[in-house]
């Protein structure tokens, strides 16, 4: 049975943050204005902003999928009886791990 | 009689380069955000203790792919953003050329009308010969003008096509991968040569100057936080880098708050970022008194997380890199990053007053919220000097940075310290030396326990100025006469710099609306437009010492309390804008 370390839970949180940050960047690109450009350039600016918003959103979704995937790996691990027993054994043998916010909280 | 065709019409040109630049900055900020994802994917995203399973191997493969994608995207977007900034510059240049063409055309139309009248009225052979000669020269001038209009139109088309090409080449992700996949970031080698922690502002300036243009541009885009607050980097570069950070923070934090997942720290950070934005708008919203152009702003310091989320911000009106006269305002009690709009308004008022008294000289005024002033929960620290001592070190470093970052002649540099800021500036001058031409204290509660007179500041008497509104209760807190509270368990903040024994040059700072009794409101009147104080500060900033309206210093006799000769003098309003 594979042991999933608590660092996986922390990595999932970081991917959540990246998802938010990149989604914000995508929105920023999408909301950029073509006002101020000449008529010859403005339509291309609009097209660029629209397509790059999509590119950014897609990248943000990949970050979210990473976070979800890591959480799923943790959930699988905790849901397995044998793994739970092993995890419990680790927790009680390592007070630092017990106090850390990683494992159980991430699965919630 | 020959005919002369009128000059060609100048084509219309409906553009707003400042909006184009905003778009460039927004895209640069977005590219920096995407670049951060690449950095995350190559570092913290790797789970080093989870590697021996099918799931972990698949995870790390995906991490690598996301990292590669984000790095290529950030490089592509950065390049487009930078080209868009260049496009804004080109539009400004084309606009200037068009203005010249319009003026030239107006003159030609007037000349043409004059020639038409002269030729119609030509009666003698000589008059007809003269009219023909004028027609020839006018035709040549109009032909030259027409050619210039054609050239201008051509140059506009070329620029438009170049911009469109730049956008179209990376519209699709496949093109982004093909053009930028695996391409090294020019910011990386520049970051590897980054000066160490102990580098002086002069050394940092030398390092910056030695970088190529591409490396400099890459650093501003990819690592704005590393150079935006670095003393020795030119103010214009710091402004550009800090704008990238600010725009990114605003987009990111507003999005996080809207998503309902913002922490208290993120909300506070957003508050500071919004304050910086509002402060910039405060300055850019006003036109220069002399040129009628919008006043130039500069985000010289932007660190919204500093000092336990109190934040650090410095914003200037005018150009700190090139101004003949540069003033740095050091605020006091209750100041943190959220005070930026109010402090920027003061800097702007001082800037305008300086422009008014010296319209032929360039000036800049900076609101420097660069130290941890007593505010909020730590306001009680106002009765101690420890925050002033730390702030003094930061102020001295900031002044050294401003000196080192300039290329041309040194500015006439004045530090104007208000309230607890004067204790901070007193420490800066005494503890490490302050490289200023003039130092002015206003509304001072004391300039630090080690400063008994101007000699302790390391400056000449003619360089040190002090003002105290007679109704300002804070200005009464400094030590007077033989009393020295700062020797009593560190209580008090040192001597009153407006007292005769201190030796500073006192100037007038009475408020026309003062009452009969001291009022805390009077402590905030030193930068009011139309006040004696602001007028005098402007004179000091431009080095016009002879026209500063002087005041008699306070005097504390051996018996009885201190006497302030300004108490009974009637204040004189002075126009400052």
Would you state the pLDDT for residue B489?
Answer: 53
Tally of domains in chain B: 2
Q: For chain B, say whether A107 makes contact (Cβ under 8 Å).
A: no
Rounded to an integer, what distance in angstroms lies between the CA atom of residue B364 and that of residue B414?
10
Enter the tokens of residue A2. Answer: 């594979």
Number of CB pairs, chain A paired with chain B, less than 8 A apart:
145
Say yes or no to pLDDT of B463 above 60.
yes
Provide the token pair at B441: 């204290």
What pLDDT shows up at residue A101?
45
The continuous run of DSSP H or E covering B503 comes out as none
Q: pLDDT (tens digit, 9 = 90+) per residue, B299-335?
A: 999 999 999 889 999 999 999 999 999 999 999 988 9
Phi, then psi, of B390 in degrees rounded to 5: -65, -40
Question: Cα-Cα-Cα-Cα dihedral of B227, B230, B234, B237, to 10°?
Answer: 20
Question: Has residue A1 been placed in a domain?
Answer: no
Mean pLDDT taken over chain B: 92
- Domain assignment present for residue A39? The answer is yes
Residue A104 pLDDT exceeds 50? no
pLDDT at B475: 87
Please report, rounded to a whole number, the percentage of residues in chain B having pLDDT higher than 90.
Answer: 81
Question: Is residue B227 assigned to a domain?
Answer: no
Q: If you ran DSSP here, which 8-state letter would residue B479 be given?
A: B
Per-residue pLDDT of A15-35, as tens digits, reads 999 999 999 999 999 999 999
Q: Does residue A91 have a pLDDT over 60?
A: no
**Is residue B519 predicted with pLDDT exceeding 60?**
yes
Same domain, B23 and B147: yes
Is B243 within the bounds of a domain?
no
Residue B446's contacts (CB-CB under 8 Å, 6 or more residues apart) are B422, B423, B426, B477, B478, B479, B486, B492, B493, B494, B495, B496
Q: Which residues are CB-neighbours of B171 under 8 A, at least 6 positions away? A: A47, A48, A51
Min Cα separation A50/chain B (Å): 10
Q: Which residues have C-beta within 8 Å of that of residue B40, sequence separation ≥ 6? A: A14, A18
User: Residue B71 in 3-state DSSP?
Assistant: helix
Tell me which residue of B91, B99, B98, B94 sits closest to B22, measured CA to CA.
B91
User: Nearest 5°: CA angle at B431, between B428 and B434?
Assistant: 40
Which structural domain, as residue segments, surrounds residue B415?
Answer: 263-568
pLDDT per residue over B132-179, tens digit each? 999 999 999 999 999 999 999 999 999 999 999 999 999 999 999 999
Q: Would you say residue B83 lies in a domain?
A: yes
B12-28 per-position pLDDT tens digit: 999 999 999 999 999 99
Which single residue is written with the structure tokens 């990111």?
B252
Q: Pairing relation of β-strands B438-442 and B312-317? A: unpaired
Last residue of a domain, one of B155, B180, B205: B180
Which backbone phi and psi does B9 adopt, to 5 degrees? Answer: -70, 145
**Shared domain check, B444 and B315:** yes
Total domains present in chain A: 1
User: In this complex, which of B62, B255, B259 lies closest to A66 when CB atoms are compared?
Assistant: B62
Q: What is the pLDDT averaged over residues B106-117?
A: 96
In a domain, A58, yes or no: yes
Phi/psi at B291 (5° precision):
-95, -15
Name which of B19, B27, B248 is nearest A36 (Cβ-Cβ): B19
Query: Counting beta carbons within 10 angstroms of the beta carbon of residue B220, is it exposed (0 to 12), middle (13 to 18) or buried (19 or more)?
Result: buried
Residues B295 and B313: their CA atoms lie apart, in Å, by 19
Q: Which of B152, B180, B208 is the last residue of a domain?
A: B180
Residue B530 structure tokens:
């139309």
CATH number where B513 lies = 3.40.50.1820
How high is the pLDDT of residue B563?
85
- Per the CB < 8 Å rule, is B252 touching A25? yes
Task: Kindly state whether residues B458 and B562 are assigned to the same domain.
Answer: yes
Asked whether residue B238 is assigned to any structural domain, the reply reads no
Q: Which of 35-64 (A) contact B at CB < 8 A?
A: 35-41, 44-45, 47-48, 51-52, 55-56, 59, 62-63
Which tens digit of pLDDT belongs to each residue from B382-439?
566 778 889 999 999 999 999 998 988 899 999 999 999 999 999 999 998 999 999 9
Beta strands B312-317 and B297-303 are: antiparallel
Q: Radius of gyration (Cα) for chain A, nearest Å?
A: 21
How far apart (Å, rounded) are the C-alpha atoms in residues B368 and B399? 11
Confidence (pTM):
0.86
Span of A2-6, A59-63, B456-460 with lowest mean pLDDT = A2-6
The domain spanning residue A41 has which CATH number?
Answer: 1.10.287
The last residue of one of the domains, among B128, B163, B180, is: B180
Domain that holds residue A79: 6-107
* 3-class SS of residue A78: helix
β-strand partners of B505: B465
User: In this structure, is the dihedral angle defined by the CA atoms of residues B505, B507, B509 and B515, taken in order, positive or negative?
Assistant: positive
ipTM: 0.84
At A100, the pLDDT band (50, 70, 90 cuts) reads very low
Separation between Cα atoms, residue B56 and residue B42, nearest integer Å = 16
Please count the residues of chain A.
108
pLDDT for B418 equals: 96
Query: Is A36 a member of any domain?
Result: yes
Place of tokens 């007193």: B426
């Amino acid at each position: 049975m594979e042991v999933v370390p608590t660092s996986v839970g922390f990595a999932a949180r970081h991917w959540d943050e990246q998802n938010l940050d990149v989604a914000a960047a995508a929105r920023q690109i999408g909301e950029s204005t073509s006002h101020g450009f000449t008529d010859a350039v403005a339509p291309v600016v609009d097209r660029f902003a629209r397509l790059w918003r999509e590119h950014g959103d897609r990248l943000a979704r990949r970050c979210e999928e990473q976070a979800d995937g890591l959480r799923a790996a943790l959930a699988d691990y905790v849901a397995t009886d044998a793994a739970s027993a092993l995890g419990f054994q680790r927790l009680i043998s390592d007070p630092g791990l017990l106090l850390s916010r990683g494992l159980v909280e991430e699965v919630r | 009689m020959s005919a002369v065709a009128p000059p060609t019409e100048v084509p219309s040109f409906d553009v707003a380069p400042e909006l184009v630049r905003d778009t460039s900055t927004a895209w640069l900020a977005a590219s920096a955000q995407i670049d951060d994802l690449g950095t995350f994917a190559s570092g913290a995203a790797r789970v080093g203790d989870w590697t021996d399973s099918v799931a972990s191997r698949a995870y790390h493969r995906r991490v690598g792919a996301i990292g590669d994608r984000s790095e290529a995207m950030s490089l592509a977007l950065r390049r487009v953003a930078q080209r868009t900034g260049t496009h804004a510059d080109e539009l400004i240049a084309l606009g200037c050329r068009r203005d010249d063409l319009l003026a030239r055309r107006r003159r030609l139309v007037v000349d043409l009308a004059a020639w038409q009248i002269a030729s119609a009225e030509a009666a003698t052979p000589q008059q007809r010969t003269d009219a023909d000669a004028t027609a020839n020269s006018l035709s040549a001038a109009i032909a030259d003008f027409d050619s210039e209009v054609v050239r201008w139109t051509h140059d506009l088309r070329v620029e438009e096509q170049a911009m469109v090409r730049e956008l179209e080449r990376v519209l699709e992700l496949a093109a982004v991968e093909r053009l930028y996949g695996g391409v090294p970031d020019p910011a990386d080698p520049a970051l590897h040569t980054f000066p160490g922690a102990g580098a002086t502002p002069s050394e940092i300036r030398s390092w910056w100057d030695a970088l190529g243009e591409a490396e400099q541009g890459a650093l501003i885009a990819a690592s704005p936080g590393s150079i935006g607050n670095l003393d020795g980097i030119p103010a214009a570069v710091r402004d550009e880098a800090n704008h990238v950070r600010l725009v990114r923070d605003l987009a990111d934090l507003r999005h996080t708050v809207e998503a309902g997942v913002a922490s208290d720290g993120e909300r506070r950070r957003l508050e500071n970022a919004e304050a910086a934005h509002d402060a910039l708008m405060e300055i850019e919203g006003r036109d220069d008194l002399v040129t009628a152009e919008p006043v130039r702003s500069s985000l010289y310091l932007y660190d919204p997380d500093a000092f336990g989320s109190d934040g650090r911000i410095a914003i200037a009106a005018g150009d700190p890199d090139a101004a003949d006269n540069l003033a740095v305002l050091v605020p006091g009690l209750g100041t943190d990053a959220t005070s930026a709009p109010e402090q920027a308004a003061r800097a702007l008022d001082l800037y305008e007053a300086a422009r008014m008294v010296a319209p032929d000289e360039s000036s800049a005024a900076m609101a420097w919220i660069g130290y941890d002033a007593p505010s909020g929960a730590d306001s009680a620290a106002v009765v101690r000097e420890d925050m002033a001592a730390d702030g003094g070190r930061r102020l001295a470093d900031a002044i050294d940075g401003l000196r080192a970052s300039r290329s041309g002649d040194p500015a006439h540099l004045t530090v104007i310290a208000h309230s607890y800021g004067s204790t901070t500036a007193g420490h800066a001058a005494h503890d490490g030396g302050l490289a200023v031409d003039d130092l002015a204290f206003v509304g001072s509660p004391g300039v630090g326990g080690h400063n008994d007179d101007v000699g302790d500041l390391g400056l000449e008497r003619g360089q040190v100025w002090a003002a105290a509104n007679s109704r300002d209760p804070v200005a009464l807190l400094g030590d007077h006469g033989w009393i020295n509270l700062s020797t009593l368990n560190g209580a008090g903040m040192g001597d009153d710099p407006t007292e005769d024994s201190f030796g500073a040059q006192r100037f007038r700072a009475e408020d026309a609306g003062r009452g009969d009794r001291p009022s805390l409101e009077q402590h905030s009147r030193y930068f009011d437009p139309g006040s004696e104080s602001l007028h005098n500060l402007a004179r000091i900033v431009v080095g016009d010492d002879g026209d500063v309206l002087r005041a008699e210093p306070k005097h504390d006799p051996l018996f009885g309390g201190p006497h302030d000769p300004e108490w009974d003098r009637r204040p004189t309003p002075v126009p400052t804008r």
